[in-house]
Structure 1
């Protein structure tokens, strides 16, 4: 009868131990944001508190699933439990299938998501020229973003600020010697809009995102292969 390969067994354990640690970190950070006073302030500072809580709850669920899978993989490898290894295999396979489905849906509904993004942006432009509490909160957030990333306005540049430009132009100011500057209402401001900056950053890092996604798929496939090989070896003992 064939024995269980020590190399595969301990590789499986190390892989899942790291997987389990990642789950703990994600879960711990999400729970801290959810219950801690400072974390509550972070959530409540957003434009949509409900969507912020939904995001945190999703992270809690993701961290919990990763922890459970890591635990099953570790214990299944060390105790040579076929049941645990099979549960690990099924869970990881479901995650892989969900990733593939998300990728397909993302490609299918790309044009629709771009349309929704544009509609959201044009709705937010109205907030820049508004004067209510919701508008003021959004303006403060954009002012910080403009200072940090040297852009102005959302879509149409400084014109997006409307009548509020003179009160908030300082975050848009730039050096008169810079080619990135334009004159608007007597002030030198950044020509590039913030959404244009974001799109440039996304385009530059798109290959990195694809590489990370591909790397995750490869790691998951290796986990599936190791778990099934170990499962078969235990069964043939």
Structure 2
């Protein structure tokens, strides 16, 4: 084992200790959200909420990160080629899946607007929707300064109580003598998704750089350790 670089060895350990610590935090928080009634009440989660699927996914991600961090730490300190190889394979698979997801996201990004508009169109006309849906949409219109779902105020038909009234000149348009928000709520949702996709892509790129560093560290250390 004489050719192993101590600097590389301890750098690998420190890198994976942080990796393992992040996994612990993700796992701990996600389990707490899954079992804590107070947290579920605060976040307004119920058994039909899609958030539970996201929390379950975080539990899986946190567990995987913890295992990989443990393999990396032990592999570095014990100079175990087996552990380092397992770490490399696991991290490489995550990296490959991440790249695949990024490619699929880039391919389907132009279709986002069409998919959202098609989904929203299924709720038209709005006057045929239940009262709870209408009230929720009116609240969303007030908060996001938008009107209607796909085409504007005409989505509401002849319903009189529609909170689309606009007082900000740069956000308004005039329809049948009324000043209403010119931006549709579907457009607001599309903008939100596109903006956050850019953030997600940026985070994914940063994680990819970290993963490449981890792959390089583990393989270099693996090659330096003499086979037994």
- Confirm or deny a common fold (TM above 0.5): yes
Deviation of residue 207 (structure 1)? 4.9
> Compared with structure 1, are the counterparts of its residues 8 and 161 closer, same or farther at alpha carbon in structure 2 (3 Å cutoff)?
farther
* CA apart distance, 1:61: 1.2
Q: Distance in 1 between matches of 2:25 and 2:185?
A: 32
Q: Structure 2 vs 1, CA of residues 101 and 11 (structure 1 numbering), >3 Å: closer, same or farther?
A: same
Pair 1:225-2:209 in alignment: no
Task: Give the secondary-structure state (helix, strand or coil) at the position aligned to 2:122.
Answer: helix
Aligned partners of 1:3 and 1:236 also within 8 Å: no
| Structural mapping, 1:40-55, within 5 Å | 40-41=40-41, 42-44=44-46, 49=48, 51-55=50-54
> Is contact 1:16-1:71 (8 Å) kept?
yes
Q: What does 1:116-195 align with in structure 2 at a 5 Å threshold?
A: 116-126=115-125, 128-132=126-130, 136=132, 138-164=133-159, 166=161, 168-169=162-163, 172-175=164-167, 177-184=168-175, 187-195=178-186
Aligned to 2:187: 196
- Check the 8 A contact 1:174/1:181 in 2, yes or no: yes
Deviation at 1:165, TM superposition (A): 5.5
Structure 1 unaligned segments of length 5 or more: list them: none
Q: Is the Cα contact below 8 Å between 2:123 and 2:129 reproduced in 1?
A: no
Summarize the alignment of residues 200-215 of structure 1 with structure 2, pairs less than 5 Å apart: 200-203=191-194, 207-215=198-206
**Aligned pair 1:34/2:58, yes or no?**
no
Structure 2: how far apart are the matches of 1:50 and 1:150?
26
- Partners in 1 of 2:80 and 2:202 — Cα distance? 34
Query: Structure 1 residues 209 and 34, CA, compared in 2 at 3 Å: closer, same or farther?
Result: closer
> What is the CA distance between 1:65 and its match in structure 2?
1.1
Aligned length: 226
Measure the CA separation in 1 of the matches of 2:171 and 2:22.
42
Change (3 A) 1:116 1:11: same
Distance 1:20 1:165 in 2: 57
> Could you tell me which residue of structure 2 aligns to residue 87 of structure 1?
86
Hey, what's the Cα distance between the residues in 2 that align with 1:33 and 1:164? 41
Q: CA RMSD in A?
A: 3.1
